[in-house]
Amino acid sequence: MLVVRTIPALRQALHSGAAAAAPAFVPTMGNLHEGHLALVRQARAAVGPGVPVVASIFVNRLQFGPQEDFDRYPRTFERDCELLQGAGCDVVFAPDEAELYPEPQTVKVQPPAALADVLEGAFRPGFFVGVCTVVLKLFNAVQPGVAVFGKKDMQQLLVVRHMVRQLALPVQVLAGETARAEDGLALSSRNGYLSAEERAEAPALVQALRALAAAVQAGRRDFAALEAEAQQALLSRGWAPDYVALRRQADLGLPQAAGGASDGPLVVLAAARLGRTRLIDNLELPALS
């Protein structure tokens, strides 16, 4: 496995052969866990043998708000490289900030408000501008044919797909299933911030989502009340919920009040703080009849 730090070195490694195939790509911010490794294995399976799989490791300052955890975001580069090698990655692209942002980034990708200023975007202003801008730069550096994004960050996946479609980027975006611990907690680099007590409490987030999804599937259609109940359940356990929201999977729009097949598949998304740690999760629901 090759580790490269610069865009010219990456281009040299990937695109120097006459008929070099477009690589498969998994962008990450490092501090890898089984969820990331599953994305790398999915990337490996999506392209034939001999086609390189590239993972990037870059903690992107542009997507962190001023009060967020950029400085304390865990950096575990050596271990990440060992894990990536074991998962079948061929090239790690690990630029420093000066390589990816050699000058202030004044040209930015502005995703549409309806998709990017709601939910995560409402609580993390500028987050998806930062994500889209770095993902586009990484795509330009790697020039992948396929890129894999986890469903754990469902809104990010939808925003990136929208960008790819609107900018006609020649990249097929694949979605990776959310990896979960045995007790249901979605794997996340931020789980590492949790104390033992908080870690024991953390599965309550997915439990709240499951309860809401089960109520909808059992026929309840008072969606706003269900969202409020889920938030209240988290509040009463000591969480500070930002949102619990039932939305259309296609565009994160509100489902019709009575629900219906025309909404297509739904998704219930949540973000909540447990102590100092903000966790997000979501569950997909089939279309309602």
Q: Which is nearer to ligand PAF, 134 or 272 (CB)?
A: 134
Query: For residues 111 and 132, what is the distance between their CA atoms, to the nearest angstrom?
Result: 7
What is the token pair recorded at 138?
A: 């990484």
CA dihedral (186, 189, 193, 199) in degrees, to 10, reads 20
Q: Which is nearer to ligand PAF, 161 or 237 (CB)?
A: 161
Q: How far is the CB of 130 from ligand PAF (least distance, A)?
A: 7
Query: What values do phi and psi take at 91, rounded to 5?
Result: -135, 130
Residue 83, C-beta contacts closer than 8 angstroms, at least 6 positions apart: 32, 36, 37
Query: Which residues here bind ligand PAF, judged by CB under 6 A?
Result: 27-29, 60, 63, 131, 134-135, 153, 156
Q: How far is the CB of 123 from ligand PAF (least distance, A)?
A: 15
Q: Which is nearer to ligand PAF, 42 or 231 (CB)?
A: 42
Closest alpha carbon to 212 in 232, 198, 194: 232
Choose the catalytic residue: 15, 33, 36, 162.
36
Query: For residues 24 and 40, what is the distance between their CA atoms, to the nearest angstrom?
Result: 9
Q: Which is nearer to ligand PAF, 63 or 231 (CB)?
A: 63
Query: For residues 165 and 173, what is the distance between their CA atoms, to the nearest angstrom?
Result: 10
Q: How far is the CB of 121 from ligand PAF (least distance, A)?
A: 13
- The residue type found at 62 is L
Closest alpha carbon to 57 in 8, 99, 105, 23: 99
Alpha helix stretches (DSSP H) within the chain: 7-15, 34-46, 77-86, 97-100, 113-116, 120-123, 127-142, 154-166, 196-201, 204-217, 223-236
Q: How far is the CB of 163 from ligand PAF (least distance, A)?
A: 12
Could you tell me if 71 and 94 are in contact, meaning their C-beta atoms sit under 8 angstroms apart? no
Query: What values do phi and psi take at 184, rounded to 5?
Result: 100, -20
Residue identified by tokens 């993902």 is: 135
Q: How far is the CB of 182 from ligand PAF (least distance, A)?
A: 23
Catalytic residue check, 15: no
Q: Which is nearer to ligand PAF, 24 or 134 (CB)?
A: 134
Q: Which is nearer to ligand PAF, 153 or 281 (CB)?
A: 153
- Max distance between CA atoms of the chain, in angstroms, equals 62
Q: How far is the CB of 45 from ligand PAF (least distance, A)?
A: 20
Residues noted as catalytic: 36
